[in-house]
Structure 1
Amino acid sequence: MAETALRTTTAPASALAAPASAPAATTATAAAAPATGPAIRRLAAARRPAPHRAPTGRAVAPRHPRAACDDGDLAARFALRLVEVLSGLRPIGQLARHTTHDGYRLLARLAGQGPLRRPGQPQRPRLARVHESAPAAGVLEVCVRVESGERHHMVAFRLERHRRTEQWQLAAVEAR
């Protein structure tokens, strides 16, 4: 194979300078002006994300991240995260945006006591049975039995739906 050498040439500084007859302002604005034309429009179009296409080929609107989350398994999903916080497997800050102010104070006090924390190596607790009740619209009360080794615990909590954001938030929690 023949090697090709890459050559660079430099032009003398006098060749790069603007002609003496051209004003300096015109040269500066010409260099700073954005290039336009069909090539630029093609580049801009290539940067735009393509619309999501369904398997059938038709364009569909992107879904909301929580669109797949239904309220059917909300109690069990929230109970698991809450039990992980109470057992020390998950930091309490991960539930901060899902709690009311009073609920966070209760959770912080309870997590500090560590009712589900076992001495030694942390063991992942298992949710045995989740009971839920809706005493009013926008309110969900949940009781869950937690198996942690040979010990069993009960955790009860109340979720309330926020009026403006429609997000479920922890309002009260108790563990024994």
Structure 2
Amino acid sequence: MTPHELFAERLLAVLSGRRPVHWMLNHSIGEGYQQLVELAPVAPFRTAGARPVVRTCRAHPLVPGIVEASACIATGDRVRAMAFRLEQGPDLRWRCAAVELDGRHDGRPGA
């Protein structure tokens, strides 16, 4: 599994309420963690029906050590967009630096 695919699954676990937001503390930096703190309480992927799954996930390398990724998250017949940025630190570990849902930082569907 690639880093962006792994992070898509990790972010989905937090945003569906299956994992607490602090589970990502060592896997995120700066705004990335703060955005998760704001998104997690609304649990935008929590549903009573079908369990949400990552349908597709694509990486868009910007420069060495920085990747922007996009994922389609399916919950039953509903599909939403998730975008996130990964940065590789001096220790070569990838960390989430930003996350958006449907083009927004607050988790509500865009207008």
Percent identity (aligned):
33
Q: 2:33 is paired with a residue of what secondary structure?
A: helix
Aligned amino acid, residue 102 of structure 1: E
Partner of 1:60: none
Structure 2 CA distance for partners of 1:123 and 1:84, relative to 1, 3 Å: farther
Partner of 2:28: 99
Aligned amino acid, residue 76 of structure 1: E
Distance 2:30 2:15 in 1: 18
TM-score (normalizing by structure 2): 0.84
Matched, 1:130 2:57: yes
Q: Which one has the largest radius of gyration?
A: 1
Partner of 2:101: 175
Report the RMSD for the aligned CA atoms in angstroms: 1.5
Higher RCO, 1 vs 2 (CA within 8 Å, ≥6 residues apart): 2
**Are 1:116 and 1:153, in contact at CA under 8 Å, matched by a contact in 2?**
no
Q: 2:74 is paired with a residue of what secondary structure?
A: strand
Cα drift, residue 154 of structure 1: 0.7
Q: Deviations over 1:23-45 (max 9, x none)?
A: xxxxxxxxxxxxxxxxxxxxxxx
TM-score (normalizing by structure 1): 0.54
The correspondence of residues 6-155 of structure 1 with structure 2, limited to 5 A, is 73-118=2-47, 121=48, 123-155=50-82
Cα drift, residue 113 of structure 1: 2.4
**Where has structure 1 moved over 2 Å in runs of 4 or more?**
121-124
Cα drift, residue 101 of structure 1: 2.8
Distance 2:10 2:50 in 1: 15
Distance 2:93 2:100 in 1: 21
Distance 2:25 2:49 in 1: 22
As a proportion of its length, which structure holds more helix? 1
Cα drift, residue 145 of structure 1: 0.2
**Are 2:83 and 2:100, in contact at CA under 8 Å, matched by a contact in 1?**
yes
Matched, 1:156 2:100: no
